[in-house]
Amino acid sequence: MTPRRQPSPAMRAVLDRLAQEDRGLADPTTLEPQAGRALAALTNIRWNEDLPPVAESRTLMHAGLPARLVVPEGDTGRDAILHVHGGGWAFCSAATHEGAARRIANATGARVLTVEYRLAPEHPYPHGLEDVLAAWATRDTDLRWSMAGDSAGANLALAAMLRLIEEGGPLPAQALLFYGVYGADFATPSYELYADGPGLTRAKMQRYWNWYAARELRDRPAVSPLAASDAALAALPPLYLNAAGLDPLCSDTERLAARLRALGRNDPFDLFEGVVHGFMQMGPALPEARDAFQRAGAVFRKRAD
């Protein structure tokens, strides 16, 4: 069996800090959804200190949904990204992901729109996906739009693209997908290695899944994108994928990347060793997070030229 890898020195320092700051706090997934959501918001907001400067950041309504628009100082005036935040389909928001949105905007040169889609368990599948599709349908078509998402947001972004392929709708120019959840197989190599963390655990992911989608729905590509046909995956726009080495979800991205390669596609895939799930949220404290945004931005800019 593959041995467990150890956190990088910077990741270890962050984990030690979190252990100290969060001592005595409950696991949000074990609380009632509203209480868990509030706690997750409070523990995520610490990563929005020392936000990178941008030309503009404001709240607006988009497709009837609250949303946050970030315009980088180097705005090209041509590209925009529909950003779908993570949080297990149940937690987080445009506010918790403000730092991520700013770093994506600055790295890509594109304006970034983060939408507040409906959250599980009050609004299980397909409500969040429907909101992402509605946000896509009402985009400003004078701009060239792409998509981005992390974790459950990457799931929703990829599921939305698969739905657009099925329906014959216009696709994003490209997509940036960060440590996504693409299936509900809890016995993958990374789930076995990191079932108990650090960070995300198998039990937490099982609770998220139970909130989001009943078992009988999980073989649908719009729920578990790894269930998509080869033809559907081949029709996707250019993707950029990354994964965290110490993440129960790492095998999801590795399996997706392997299927795409087998189809003859050339979608870049970066595996960041020594970091946990959600590491890109930790940009102020983690060099690997800053590197991840820069790598994704470099791919985006090269394609956008």
Q: Which residue has the tokens 């095998």?
A: 251
Catalytic residue among 151, 190, 224, 251, which? 151
Catalytic residue among 79, 150, 247, 267, which? 247
- DSSP tag of 35: H
The reply to whether 247 belongs to the active site is yes
Instruction: Report phi then psi at 228, rounded to 5.
Output: -65, 155
The reply to whether 277 belongs to the active site is yes
The reply to whether 79 belongs to the active site is no
Question: Which positions are catalytic?
Answer: 151, 247, 277
